Each structure stands twice: as C-alpha cells, then as structure tokens.
Amino acid sequence: QLNLTVLELDRKNKKHSETLQTLGRIVSVLESISDSHEETLRDQDTSLTSLKVEATRTQRAIQNLTTSENQLGNRLSRLRSTQIEHNSAISRLSLQTSTVETSLTEQFNTIA
C-alpha cells in the first residue's frame, strides 16, 4: 500500500509538473501578446503624434490662405476703386475733348 501511495504521489507530481509547464507556455504566449499590444500602442501613439503635427501644419496653412484671401480681397477692392476713378477721369477727358472739338469747330467756322 505504501508503494501504491508513492506511485500515486509520483503520478500527481507528474501531472502537476505538466500543468505547470502548460501554465508556463500560456504565460509565455500571454507575455508575447502583451508585448505585441504594447508595440502596437507605441506605433499608434507615434502615428497620432504625426497626425497632430500634420493637423497643426494644415491649420497654419489654412490660416495663411485665409490671410492671403483677405489681402487679395482688399487689393481687389482698391483696384475696383481705382477702376471707377479711371472711368470717371476718362469720362471727364472725353467731355473735355468733345468741348474742345466743339470750340475748335466754332473757331474754324468763324475764321472760314
């Protein structure tokens, strides 16, 4: 009966050893998965940082474009004002030319 107990203990010890080995393999796989997840998180964090930098650059570019658009709008307004002034000056010159032509025609007719 003592031999039987030793054999049982030996079997149980062997099973416990196999269970510990299996648990060791499971822990190893879980550690590998955990390492992989940590690496993925680092990669995602790096990507997120890059996206934030790119978003900041894009925002600055949009602000610069908005500033340029406003400046172009102001220049366009000034050009339109200048065009109106030029059109008025052309009208006045045309009127003056017409008046001078009329005066010269009257003088020519008077002389003739």
pLDDT in tens, 31-43: 999 999 999 999 9
Find where tokens 């339109």 sit.
80
Distance, in Å, from the CA atom of 74 to the CA atom of 3, rounded to the nearest integer, reads: 105
What is the Cα 1 distance to its own chain's centre?
81
Q: Is the pTM of this model over 0.85?
A: no
Check whether 65 has a pLDDT greater than 70.
yes
Instruction: Average the pLDDT over 35-63 and give the result.
Output: 98
CB atoms within 10 A of CB 81: 10
Widest pairwise Cα distance in the chain: 161
Radius of gyration (C-alpha) of the chain in whole angstroms: 47
Mean pLDDT, the chain, whole residue set: 95
**pLDDT band at 68; cut points 50, 70, 90:** very high
Instruction: Average the pLDDT over 66-94 and give the result.
Output: 97
